[in-house]
């Protein structure tokens, strides 16, 4: 009778080398025939989808610098990899994110109290403006208080602020947008500045693609592996 069971979970990181061989021979017609390598095997030695996915995950998701990512692969998996291929891997993976730009018909959100909310919005701003009158203009541009500037912007950007009433894709607040926009700055602090506009653009595409998958409960690392295998998972856009 089994009285007790205990388990120990270990994390094992190691490299695995998969070798592919082709054969050739001469048939009775005296012509040499050769087999072919599987699709994607193009050079004598190359990194597989898992290695490429790990590099992109560490540099683009965890914001680890390229040099330190190369050090992690060298220490844990004995892969003496140079940091230079990482930007190319990121560029290749960024192509997948462009699929998110597929045109979609906008679905209008019909709300019974939309006009009532707009009226209330205007009333609140009018009351705020009455209690915070702008400074009179004498000559040139007059510096206004932060409160007056905020009220003015809320008036001028009324349609943008209330867009969630007519567009289902727009959330009620901009908290998620601020968190997403903070990533480039965090990347700069952790890994240094971007070396080119192309690198910054690739980072933006990847950081758009991966968080979308996370919000839909997809496994990020698995998704990256599938991407480098030519089978990128596509986010649900509706």
Each residue of 57-99: pLDDT tens digit?
Answer: 888 888 888 888 888 888 888 777 776 656 655 555 554 444 3
Say which residues have a Cβ less than 8 Å from residue 157's Cβ, sequence separation at least 6: none
214-229 CB burial, b ≥16 within 10 A, e <16: eeeeeebeebbbbbbe
Tokens of 193: 């500045």
What are the tens digits of pLDDT across the range 138-188?
676 777 778 888 888 888 888 888 887 777 777 776 677 677 777 777 777
Q: What is the mean pLDDT of residues 1-18?
A: 84
Of the spans 30-39, 99-108, 127-136, 177-186, which averages the highest pLDDT? 30-39
Query: Could you tell me if 3 and 20 are in contact, meaning their C-beta atoms sit under 8 angstroms apart?
Result: no
Q: Which residues pair with 32 in a beta bridge?
A: 26
Task: Copy the structure tokens of residue 28.
Answer: 């009775």
In angstroms, the CA 225 to CA 56 distance is 10
Backbone angles phi, psi at 34, to 5 degrees: -130, 140
Question: For position 110, what pLDDT does the model report?
Answer: 42
**pLDDT tens readout for residues 190-229:** 777 777 888 888 888 888 888 888 888 888 888 888 888 8
């Amino acid at each position: 009778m089994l009285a007790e069971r205990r388990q120990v979970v270990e994390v094992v990181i190691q490299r695995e080398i998969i070798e592919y061989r082709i054969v050739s021979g001469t048939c009775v017609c005296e012509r040499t025939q050769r087999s072919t390598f599987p699709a994607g095997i193009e050079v004598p030695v190359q990194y597989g989808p898992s290695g490429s996915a790990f590099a992109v995950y560490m540099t683009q998701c965890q914001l680890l610098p390229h040099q330190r990512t190369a050090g992690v692969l060298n220490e844990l998996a004995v892969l003496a990899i140079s940091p230079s291929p990482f930007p190319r891997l990121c560029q290749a993976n960024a192509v997948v994110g462009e699929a998110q730009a597929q045109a979609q018909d906008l679905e209008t959100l019909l709300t019974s109290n939309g006009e009532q909310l707009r009226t209330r919005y205007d009333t609140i701003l009018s009351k705020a403006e009455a209690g915070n009158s702008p400074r009179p203009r004498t000559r040139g541009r007059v510096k206004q208080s932060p409160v007056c500037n905020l009220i003015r912007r809320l008036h001028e950007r009324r349609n943008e602020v209330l867009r969630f009433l007519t567009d289902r894709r727009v959330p009620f607040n901009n908290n998620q947008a601020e968190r997403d926009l903070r990533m480039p700055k965090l990347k700069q602090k952790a890994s240094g500045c971007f070396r080119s506009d192309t690198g910054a653009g690739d980072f933006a595409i990847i950081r758009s693609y991966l968080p979308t998958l996370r919000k839909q409960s997809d496994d990020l690392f698995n998704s990256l592996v599938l991407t480098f295998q030519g089978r990128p998972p596509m986010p649900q856009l509706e």
